[in-house]
Structure 1
Amino acid sequence: MTAIDSDTLVRDFVDTFNAQDADALAPFFTEDIVFAAYGDAPVKGRDAVVALWKGVFANFGQVKFETVHQAVNGDVVIAEQVHGLALPGGKLAPIMNMAVYELRDGKIAAWRDYTNPAYASKLLQG
């Protein structure tokens, strides 16, 4: 996969993510994807990752990712992002995040989100 293809894949993924349709995310993932975020235990497998995001989309009033900067080296994409999260009835909290995507065969095989969960919690509480 070329850098341009990797860049486009992740940007398309973020655009799809913002529609908050977890099932639409599945085609972006390998069957054995591993997702790790915010210090939680890794989630393994496409179905489990999709289920996780179904729960997030159902429990939050709003979820939106915005890419600030993105760097690509072959099949690795590093994206500085703002994760906009809002609890039901709450204000959108702009949580700075660093995402690392490892791609294989044109799909996301590993996805890691790095942020400060205590700061994220503080922002969400308003």
Structure 2
Amino acid sequence: MSTPDEVVRAMCRSWSDPDTDPDRISAYFAEDAVYQNIPMEPIVGRAAIRDFIAEFRTAFDAIHIDIHHQVAAGAVVMNERTDTLRGADRVTPLRVMGFFEVTDGAISIWRDYFDMAAINRAFDG
């Protein structure tokens, strides 16, 4: 079985695949996982997370996640990273702090903290 650190790294890498598949990404999550972009409302359940990923992914031509630092202690993983969003002739680097809990080899909690102004610029074109 993969360690929590390996699970989070693999999930982050899967976003950078040019043929990103929401089913493949959501497979890293527990059935009852909770994903939240703070301060937005949480998304609960693997199916809802998959739907969010599918919708979010259509807004961009590519998404690349570059982990700068990652630490793991037991089931908890935290990383500092840049998520680069490419689309509509625009490149938006988004600095993110991520918190994850991994239970039985699957992500059960994922919370991301970032500057909402940067994400709004990516969507406002």
- Displacement of 1:27 after TM fit? 2.0
> What's 1:108 paired with?
107
Query: Which of residues 16, 19, 31 is equivalent to 1:18?
Result: 16
Q: Is the 8 A contact 2:78 2:99 kept in 1?
A: yes
Alpha-carbon distance in structure 2 between the residues aligned to 1:123 and 1:58: 13
Residues 51-81 of structure 1 show CA distances to partners (whole Å, capped at 9, x for unaligned) of: 1000011122222211110011110000101
TM-score by structure 2 length? Answer: 0.88
Gaps of 5+ in 2: none
TM-score by structure 1 length? Answer: 0.88
> What's 2:93 paired with?
94
> What's 1:40 paired with?
40
Task: Note the aligned Cα RMSD (angstroms).
Answer: 1.9
Alpha-carbon distance in structure 2 between the residues aligned to 1:105 and 1:77: 14
Q: Is the 8 A contact 2:85 2:122 kept in 1?
A: no
Aligned AA for 1:55? E
- Displacement of 1:38 after TM fit? 4.1
- Percent identity between the aligned chains? 28
More helix by share: 1
Alpha-carbon distance in structure 1 between the residues aligned to 2:50 and 2:16: 14
How many residues are aligned here?
123
More strand by share: 2
